[in-house]
Structure formats: C-alpha cells, structure tokens
C-alpha cells in the first residue's frame, strides 16, 4: 500500500474514531503496532 493512501485511510479512521467507533479503535491500535491488515483498512 502506498504511503499517501495509508495516510488518507488513517486520517479517515481517526475522524470516524472521534465519532465513537469501536471497530475503528481496533484499527488504530493495529496501526500503532505497525499492522495494516485489519478489516477496516480493506474497505
């Protein structure tokens, strides 16, 4: 995955997380562990 796309997805997750999404919280946690295979990154 290209870094700019990864950054856009991450920004979207953080924005959605502020609205309160538990699935997205897990995705952010995966990102902090250097993983990009969480289902939220595939959509």
pLDDT at 43: 47
* C-alpha span between 21 and 41 (Å, rounded): 14
Give, as one character, the DSSP assignment of residue 38. S
Please give the residue that has the higher pLDDT: either 42 or 3. Answer: 3
Give the pLDDT mean for 34-42: 53
* C-alpha span between 22 and 3 (Å, rounded): 24
pLDDT at 2: 62
Residue 4 has pLDDT above 60, yes or no: yes
How many CB atoms neighbour CB 16 within 10 A?
16
6-24 tens-digit pLDDT: 888 888 888 877 776 666 6
């Amino acid at each position: 995955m290209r870094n700019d796309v990864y950054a856009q997805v991450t920004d979207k997750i953080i924005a959605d997380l502020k609205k309160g999404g538990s699935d997205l919280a897990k995705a952010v946690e995966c990102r902090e562990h250097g993983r990009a295979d969480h289902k939220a990154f595939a959509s």
